[in-house]
Amino acid sequence: MSKNKKALIIGATSGIGKALARELVKNEYIVGITGRRKNLLQEIQKESPERIQIEAFDSTQPDALRHIESIVKKLSAFDLLIISAGVGHMNFDFDYAKENETNQLNVIAFSQMVNWGIHYFENQGHGHLVNLSSVASLRGGHSAPAYNASKAYQSNYFEGIAQRIAKSKLPIYTTDVRPGFVKTAMAKRPKMFWVATKEKAAHQIFRSIQKKKRIVYITKRWQIIAWILKGIPWLLYKKI
Ligand SMILES: NC(=O)c1ccc[n+]([C@@H]2O[C@H](COP(=O)([O-])OP(=O)(O)OC[C@H]3O[C@@H](n4cnc5c(N)ncnc54)[C@H](OP(=O)(O)O)[C@@H]3O)[C@@H](O)[C@H]2O)c1
C-alpha cells in the first residue's frame, strides 16, 4: 500500500472533484475524498473500496481541520492535495448572504486548507498542491462579484505560495487550475460555450499535474479567452 501514490481531494462528492477521484484511481492512486454529502462519498467509495477513503465534513466549519487530520490518518500520508471545494451563485440581486457564503468557502476555508497543506508538505519535504480557481479570476463580474473576486484571490494566493516554495527549494509544486466552463452542477450560466465534460477536464488536469504546470487553463483553448479577457478595455468590458 505504501508504494502507491496517494492523493487527498477536498470537494469530491460531485463535479470535477469526483471526476478527478476516478481519474486518479484509474492511475493507481489511493485517494481520500471529502465533501458534506456523506451518501455521495459512500457511493463513490463503493466503486473502488480498496483505493478510496472518505471523510464527510463542511470545510467552512471550525472542526474542518480535525476532519482533515482524520482522513490523513486513514491514508497514512499523501503526496497530492487537490482543493476542488468551491461555491458560486449567479447573484444579480447582489444578495449579501450569497456573497458571504462564497467568501467563507472560496476565501476563508480555502486559505486555511492551503496553509495546512503547505505546512504538511514542508514538514514532509515534498508534495504537490492543486487548486481549482477559474478563468473568472481574471476580471470582475457583475453577475457574481464575490465569485470572480474569490477566484482572483485564490490565483493570487497561489502565486505567493509558489514564490514561498521557490525560496525554500523543496520539491513542492503548486498548480493553479483555471477552468472555463465544465458541465457540472455549478455551471449555471444561461449562455455557455466551449463546455467541457468533467471527465475531459479531469484528464487534462491530471496531465498538467504530471507535468507539474504552475498555471493551466482547462480546457487548453481557454487560454485564448484568457488573453482576450485580459486585453478588453474597460469602455467595452463594462457593457458585457
Ligand atoms: N464547473 C465549472 O464550469 C467551473 C469553472 C471554473 C471553475 N470551477 C471550479 O471548480 C471547482 C469544482 O466545481 P464543480 O464545477 O465541480 O462544482 P460542484 O459539482 O458543485 O462541486 C463542488 C464541490 O465542492 C464541495 N463543497 C461545496 N461546499 C462545500 C463546503 N462548505 N464544505 C465542503 N465541501 C463543499 C461539494 O460537496 P458537498 O456539496 O457535498 O459539500 C462538491 O463536492 C470549484 O472551485 C469551482 O469554482 C468550476
- Give 10-residue mean pLDDT values along the chain (240 residues): 82 98 98 98 98 98 98 97 98 98 98 98 98 98 97 98 97 98 90 96 98 98 98 97
Structure confidence at residue 2 (pLDDT): 45
Backbone angles phi, psi at 76, to 5 degrees: 75, -40
Tell which residue, 236, 29, 1, has the closest CA to residue 12.
29
Residue nearest to atom 39 of ligand 1 (CA): 36
Residue 190: burial class (beta carbons within 10 Å; 0-12, 13-18, 19+) = exposed
What residues have CB less than 8 Å from 186, skipping those under 6 apart?
Answer: 15, 86, 87, 88
**Is 226 among the domain residues?**
yes
CA of 104, closest atom in ligand 1: 31
**Is 202 among the domain residues?**
yes
For the chain, the domain total comes to 1
pTM of the model: 0.98
Tell which residue, 58, 54, 67, has the closest CA to residue 18.
54
**Is 220 among the domain residues?**
yes
Q: Is the CB of 179 under 6 A from ligand 1?
A: yes
Instruction: Please give the residue range of the domain that contains residue 148.
Output: 6-237
**Is 44 among the domain residues?**
yes
Residue nearest to atom 24 of ligand 1 (CA): 85
The torsion defined by the Cα of 217, 222, 227 and 232, in degrees rounded to 10, comes to: -130
**Is 1 among the domain residues?**
no
Check the CA dihedral 21-113-5-217 and report its sign: positive
Cell output for 140: 470582475
Structure confidence at residue 1 (pLDDT): 41
Q: Could you tell me the CATH number of the domain that includes residue 80?
A: 3.40.50.720
**Is 210 among the domain residues?**
yes
**Is 109 among the domain residues?**
yes
Ligand 1 center to 205 CA (angstroms): 15
